[in-house]
Amino acid sequence: MKIDKDLSGFDEVDKWEDELWDTVADVGLDAVRFAKENGEYKNHTHNLRNAPGYAVVKDGEIIKMEVPADGNHAEARKETEDFINNGEKPQNGLILADGMPYASFVESKGFDVLSGAAQHAGRELETKLGN
């Protein structure tokens, strides 16, 4: 017995899902820019300012990661990529990270390294995706 089913609607679901993850990635990149432009610390080595990055996680796997360092700070990029790759990941979501080992120390001294960017990303996701 042959059963014919119209599955054309699944293409629309796939398109919608792709657009969703693209939006999350755009918010991640915007948050990284925010961190770089609004960091409240002295930028002695430029590593801390070049280390912010993001990853988009779908079904527990990274589907996109970007650490837009300026090209002269490969160590900063590698530290963040390693931090994201080796850290805990949500089932689905956005990871913002600065992999420099002293980033949390600088943040704990009251300087905004990444916390403002995380808040910015949260607001942007809520605006773009709704509740």
Residue 83 lies in a domain: yes
Rg over CA atoms, the chain:
18
Query: Per-residue pLDDT tens for 3-54?
Result: 676 666 667 777 888 999 999 999 999 999 999 998 877 777 788 888 999 9
Q: What is the largest CA-CA distance in the chain?
A: 73
Residue 111 lies in a domain: yes
Residue 6 lies in a domain: no
Residue 7 lies in a domain: no
Residue 1 lies in a domain: no
Query: Per-residue pLDDT tens for 63-85?
Result: 999 999 788 889 999 999 999 99
User: Amino acid identity, residue 41?
Assistant: Y
Residue 29 lies in a domain: yes
**Total Cβ atoms within 10 A of residue 30:** 15
How many domains in the chain? 1
Residue 5 lies in a domain: no
Domain that holds residue 106: 12-129
